[in-house]
Each structure stands twice: as structure tokens, then as C-alpha cells.
A and B are shown apart, each in its own frame.
Chain A
Amino acid sequence: MQKIEAIIQPSKLDAVKDALVEAGISGITIFEARGHGRQKGHTEFYRGREYAVDLLPKVKLELVVSDDMKDKAIEAIISVARTGRIGDGKIFVSRIDEAIRIRNDERGEIAL
């Protein structure tokens, strides 16, 4: 089992969700996040007043999939979240040792 964590533009959330469902993945956890990568912060002006913009709004997705679904899930995310501009986000993948469904104690991939 693999955990996929993806940090994407908030505006891409609906499209990513649809793409994952189409790829056969429905279990997903979403977090509202703020951060920056290489973009760093900058200053904006609003009608003569100055505002620092250091952290940008992002959405973080977390999903755990079976090993054979990993590439499909990553492809689904990239296919719709990529614009080619700085700030498109990142995907992190890590191995998961165990999954347990609390309701009935099912374990392993069946619990996903």
C-alpha cells in the first residue's frame, strides 16, 4: 500500500477529485493548507496600503492506494493539476505498513 500526499492549487481540487474517481479511487482526505515552495513571499498593494503575501493557499490531498494503483493515481492528479507554472504543487509518496477499518477490524488492502 502507498500513501500519496499531493499539494495542489485550490482551483484544481474539483478536477483532481473527478480524475481520481475516474481512475477508480474514491477514498480521499482533503486539508486546507497554506505554504510556499520556491515561489516565496511577495508584497501586494491595495489602494495605497501594503500587504505581505508570504504563504499562499493550497489544498493538500491524502489518499492510500494499493501498490498497483499508485501510478494511476499519480497520473490522474498530474493530468489535471499541471498548468506548467510555478505553484502547481508537489506529490509525495510513501509506503504504508497497515490499514485497519475501525468499524469491523478489517486489515490490509481490503480496508482501503
Chain B
Amino acid sequence: MESLGVDSRLLIAQIINFILFFFIFKKFIARPFSQFLINQKKKDEERDRILIELKKKEEDFLKEKEKEIKRIREKEKKMMEELKEEIRELREKMIAEAKKEAEMIINKAKIKIENDKQKLNLEMKKKIVNLSLEIVKQILSETLDIDTQKAINKKIIDHLTKGSFDIN
């Protein structure tokens, strides 16, 4: 070995040195580092799991929210339809009432017009009769001379004496 230029003692010392270094490295550096890596990996896995879980929860929440929105919209739509129906019924009712009232007013007006017409006709007839009688009175007053008056009285007296009138 020495002829090859290799110092055996140095080689042994270096081997021992390497073995020592190997053990020290393994015990104080490699193992904690490895443990640290494992822990780190576990933490990463835990984080990923939590993240997935959160994502799932978020998705569930979004789905639930969407469902709720859909349900509210349907309810809203139904309420709107009901409201529209109520408004339509109310409008029809109001129109019917207004029509009825209008008919009633028209009928009342017709009756009033008819009554007024009849009243006016009667009034007119009455006035015509009264006016005619006034004219007759006037004409008779002016045209009945004394002979005619005497003739009338004679007729009356004749009737009285014949017994057509009885005062007693």
C-alpha cells in the first residue's frame, strides 16, 4: 500500500473520520431535516385538505344560495301573479260597480226626464185650458148682449118652473 503511495494510517483515519462524520450527520442533521420535511409535507397535506373542504363548503353554500334565490324568485313570481290576479279582479269589480252606478244614474235621469216631461205636458195642458177659458170668458163678456142674456135667463126660468131644479 505504501508502495502505491497510500498512507494506510491516514486512510484508516480518514475512514474513521468519514464514519464518524456519517453518524454525526445522520443523527444530528439528516434525521431532523427529514423530520422537518415530513412535518412540512403533513402540514401541506392538511392545508390542501382544509382548502378542499373549504372549497366544497363554498360550493355547497353557493348551491344552497342559488337554490334559495331560485325559491325566493319563484315565491316572488307566484306572489306577483296572485297580486296581478287580485288587481285584475278588483279592476273588474270596480268597472262592474261603475257600470251599475252609471246605469242607475241613467235610469234615474230617464225617469226624471219622463216625469219632467209629463209634468210639463200637464202644465202646458192646464195653461192651454186656462188660457182658452180666459179667452172664452173675455169673448162672452164682450159678445153677450142684453137680448142674449134675457134669452139665457128665460131658459133658466123655464127649467126652474118645469121642475128641473129644486131649491127647497
Whether A associates with B in a native complex is no
Residues of A at the B interface (CB closer than 8 Å) are: none
Interface residue ranges, B against A (CB under 8 Å): none
